[in-house]
Structure 1
Amino acid sequence: MRDVYLVGAGQSDYGAFPSESYRSLFRTAFEAAVSSVPNGLEAEDIDEAFVGNLGVGGRQIGLSGPAVTEHVGLDGVPTTRVENACAASGFAVRQAVQAVKSGIADVALAGGFEVMSDMSSDATKYWLGVSGETEWERLSGTTFSGVYAQMASVHMEQYGTTRDHLSQVAVKNHSNGAKNPHAQLGFECSLEDARSAPVVADPLNLYHCCPTSDGAACALIVSEDVVDRYTDDPIRVAGVGAGSDSVGLFQRDSYSSVPASQRAAESAYEMADVTPDDLDFAEVHDCFAIAELLAYEDLGFCEKGEAGQLIQSGATELGGDLPVNTSGGLKSKGHPIGATGAGQVVEAYKQLSGDAGERQVDAPTRGLTHNVGGSGGAAVIHIFEKESEVNA
């Protein structure tokens, strides 16, 4: 198996864009990714493409992958649409890595897109709900905010996690998102703002929930055989891990963890031959504030039950021991379902390239991205490392 590298990544803005289409958003992300490659890359270099998309609103569900790659000039490039709920483009990145590792491709595009702002709130809830367990959750009226509220309630009861801990996640991520020009909710909020917002599903309030978003993101993955053409300072895909689980929360043994994330983390750390202590930053899936706290524990950033103390300590803030969601996360940057995982990779690329602007981590060597589908039916993790620093 060959070594694999990330040589470029880019995204559109995230938000509500009535004048844009899913094709135009994808074009913006694709062109940003291509232009980010240090030594240049041409569309004709791309051998394979993988595109994540849920198909919110019913637009172009069949063949949505080729619909966007053809639009950006990748005529004839084999394109696969990947659907794994909110983890769709995270798994698209994984498939691109597998294709390049195996020798099927030397250069692969991994991306994703979603348009979510052009529907009523009821329609949006419906399309979000299709990624939950249909028979016993969605058709009984359970929403994703309701499912994550159950997870939050159990974690609070078991470990003493508080509403303030949830609110501190929002404050941190809004602070980071305010430094990200692509963020949908790019403004800061106070702890009092996050404490006093209207309740959505007790104990979660509005500031504990991510927005629905339009947006697209793309990453470019290449083999060790051609990486020198594209960059003089390679970023290696050091580890990849994935896991799946029961789609319904009620089907699992624990409400206070995401086993798919734990399995994915174990595989990624083993493949990269690192531990959580070796990471300099992480982008984790914070669709709801409790999801970030669960990720701290599931990914080994702290012991079980200690996520509240970790957020309270400031360790995951920009400038802390392990900055988490420097992009603003789903909470502030936004959550266009099919683009989210690839968008996390965009932030990893910017951080490791030193191009993250005001939110730049100090001289990072290694970072992790963590993308979850639904309430934990699927999870995928990538670990990226700056090869020049690792080998120094």
Structure 2
Amino acid sequence: MGIVIIGTGITRFGELWDKNWEELVIDAVSEALKNANIELKDVFSCYIGNMNLSRFEGQDHIVARVNEILGIKKVVRTEAACASSSVALKLAFDEIQLASLKEENKISLVIGFEKMTDRLTENVTEILASASHFDTEVLNGATFPGLYAMIATRYLHETPAEENDLHAIAIKNHKNALLNEKAMFKKEINLNDFKVDVAFPLKLFDCSPISDGAAALILTTEKYAKMLGIDYIRIEDIEFANSTISLAKRKDLIVLDAAKKACEKVYEKIKIKPKDLDLIEVHDCFTIAEILCLEAIGIANKKEGYKIVRSLKPYEEINKRDAPIPYLIDGKKFYVNTSGGLKAKGHPVGATGVAQVVEIVNQLLERCGKRNVKAKIGATLNIGGSGGSATFSILKRPW
């Protein structure tokens, strides 16, 4: 018997000026509870992932405030930059796994959220930069667009990849987001839109947006889910790993070392391999990151992720489709970021890790409407900062 997800909830992502962070959390949690057909009184513990509420909204001591809002006695907060909520999920998974060994029926709630758009763009950029190395990067004026631009420049130098390969990822993800009612951007784009420079070689549409949003998951044991008679998706495994925070100390600039470690840990523990996956949600904070995630997961070899991107249909054909856009790998359709990804769905950093899992669960349970794809096994890869933290999970439909 495994650890399963019985409920999912997610708000719309975007500039949500009509909602404060508490309301976003309540909305996501309420949807997850309704989804699971349980009440808050049934929840034993709550794990929250949030990057920097203290600077975005001036509120610290989140655990006490969430206890006050939801009435859950055990509340734990995690922070790992953009990977904050996937780390919260890992802790909840471990707790329920221990409960399973003791044959205890426990339910855990996982929440990820961020409220970012109440601040000016320059303030948000500064706050986000605190997830990079302060002495060597922040004090020298580095921002995350600049750091990922250096990674992208190196990748283009070491491989035959071109700028248009990066742009193709954004075009695909924007098209996928058109089918997602919770996505921030409902806008088709094409190569003519890639005109505004941010940091070479990244254009404006290669970068994910500043967003507000919240997402929630409800976990329990498979045995208890069966007793409750609730549909569920099994978490085969979830693992977390770290690397250096600064790019200067990375052994290889174009390898997401922490992500690679997290993926290897999962593959070592379960029988599922990269070739068995049907769809994945990856951390495309910048388009180059989607390529590096494909390589870290093992979908592509090092320096060959761009080849998978080139399997996409011509841009004109992409914009004619009314379904998620697949890559083609050895003739098999392989779906990446059916939600629209961080690029088009939005990237409220503390919510992203849980939101990725929400998409996979809903896909496997066939709850995504027009954007549903045929899948039995899915995965998520959530990255913190420029790659200093990463969480990898594999989820499976049990039938």
Calculate the TM-score normalised by the size of structure 1. Answer: 0.93
* Residues 89 and 112 in structure 1, CA contact (< 8 A), matched pair in contact too: yes
Q: How does 1:123-134 map to 2 (within 5 A)?
A: 123-134=123-134
SS of the residue 1:237 aligns to: strand
* Residues 319 and 361 in structure 1, CA contact (< 8 A), matched pair in contact too: no
Tell me the equivalent position of 1:189.
189
Aligned residues: 380
User: By how many angstroms is 1:319 displaced?
Assistant: 7.5
User: By how many angstroms is 1:10 displaced?
Assistant: 1.1
CA distance, structure 1, for counterparts of residue 308 and residue 94 of structure 2: 34
User: By how many angstroms is 1:55 displaced?
Assistant: 1.9
SS of the residue 1:294 aligns to: helix
CA distance 1:304–1:123, change in 2 (3 Å): same
Tell me the equivalent position of 1:380.
391
Tell me the equivalent position of 2:321.
none
Tell me the equivalent position of 1:15.
14
Tell me the equivalent position of 1:335.
347
SS of the residue 1:297 aligns to: helix
* Residues 233 and 386 in structure 1, CA contact (< 8 A), matched pair in contact too: no
CA distance, structure 1, for counterparts of residue 78 and residue 125 of structure 2: 21
CA distance, structure 2, for counterparts of residue 319 and residue 131 of structure 1: 32
Tell me the equivalent position of 1:366.
377
* Residues 241 and 390 in structure 2, CA contact (< 8 A), matched pair in contact too: yes
- CA deviation map 1:254-289 (0-9, x unaligned): 111110000011112222311111111000000000
Structure 1 residue 318 corresponds to structure 2 residue 326: yes
CA distance 1:45–1:149, change in 2 (3 Å): same
- CA deviation map 1:96-140 (0-9, x unaligned): 101100118711011111111011122111111110011100111
CA distance, structure 1, for counterparts of residue 169 and residue 245 of structure 2: 26
* Residues 56 and 115 in structure 2, CA contact (< 8 A), matched pair in contact too: no
User: By how many angstroms is 1:225 displaced?
Assistant: 3.3
Structure 1 residue 274 corresponds to structure 2 residue 281: no
- The partner residue of 2:224 within 223, 226, 235 is 226
User: By how many angstroms is 1:227 displaced?
Assistant: 1.2
CA distance, structure 1, for counterparts of residue 124 and residue 366 of structure 2: 37
- CA deviation map 1:293-349 (0-9, x unaligned): 100111101111111110110299337521000000000000001100000011011
* Residues 283 and 342 in structure 2, CA contact (< 8 A), matched pair in contact too: yes
2:126 aligned partner, one-letter code: Y
Structure 1 residue 94 corresponds to structure 2 residue 90: yes
User: By how many angstroms is 1:380 displaced?
Assistant: 0.2
* Residues 114 and 350 in structure 2, CA contact (< 8 A), matched pair in contact too: yes
SS of the residue 2:236 aligns to: strand
CA distance, structure 2, for counterparts of residue 231 and residue 70 of structure 1: 30
104-113 vs 294-303, greater mean Cα deviation? 104-113
CA distance 1:58–1:170, change in 2 (3 Å): closer
2:280 aligned partner, one-letter code: A
* Residues 241 and 266 in structure 1, CA contact (< 8 A), matched pair in contact too: no
Tell me the equivalent position of 1:214.
212
Tell me the equivalent position of 1:159.
159
2:377 aligned partner, one-letter code: R
SS of the residue 1:323 aligns to: strand
133-142 vs 262-271, greater mean Cα deviation? 262-271
CA distance, structure 2, for counterparts of residue 137 and residue 42 of structure 1: 46
User: By how many angstroms is 1:192 displaced?
Assistant: 2.7
User: By how many angstroms is 1:69 displaced?
Assistant: 4.6
Tell me the equivalent position of 1:250.
248
2:162 aligned partner, one-letter code: T
User: By how many angstroms is 1:186 displaced?
Assistant: 2.1
CA distance, structure 1, for counterparts of residue 226 and residue 58 of structure 2: 37
* Residues 47 and 91 in structure 2, CA contact (< 8 A), matched pair in contact too: yes
Tell me the equivalent position of 1:51.
48
CA distance, structure 2, for counterparts of residue 186 and residue 33 of structure 1: 24
User: By how many angstroms is 1:58 displaced?
Assistant: 4.3
Tell me the equivalent position of 2:145.
145
Tell me the equivalent position of 1:80.
76
SS of the residue 1:380 aligns to: strand
CA distance, structure 2, for counterparts of residue 205 and residue 231 of structure 1: 49
* Residues 239 and 270 in structure 1, CA contact (< 8 A), matched pair in contact too: no
CA distance 1:215–1:69, change in 2 (3 Å): farther
* Residues 56 and 124 in structure 2, CA contact (< 8 A), matched pair in contact too: no
CA distance, structure 1, for counterparts of residue 221 and residue 46 of structure 2: 14
141-150 vs 101-110, greater mean Cα deviation? 101-110
User: By how many angstroms is 1:210 displaced?
Assistant: 0.1
User: By how many angstroms is 1:235 displaced?
Assistant: 1.2
1:150 aligned partner, one-letter code: M
Tell me the equivalent position of 2:369.
357
CA distance, structure 2, for counterparts of residue 224 and residue 189 of structure 1: 42
* Residues 56 and 116 in structure 2, CA contact (< 8 A), matched pair in contact too: no
* Residues 240 and 382 in structure 1, CA contact (< 8 A), matched pair in contact too: yes
CA distance 1:227–1:64, change in 2 (3 Å): same
User: By how many angstroms is 1:18 displaced?
Assistant: 1.3
270-279 vs 98-107, greater mean Cα deviation? 98-107
291-300 vs 181-190, greater mean Cα deviation? 181-190
SS of the residue 1:387 aligns to: coil
CA distance, structure 1, for counterparts of residue 129 and residue 167 of structure 2: 25
Tell me the equivalent position of 1:344.
356
231-240 vs 365-374, greater mean Cα deviation? 231-240
User: By how many angstroms is 1:161 displaced?
Assistant: 1.2
1:340 aligned partner, one-letter code: T
Identity %: 33
SS of the residue 1:322 aligns to: strand
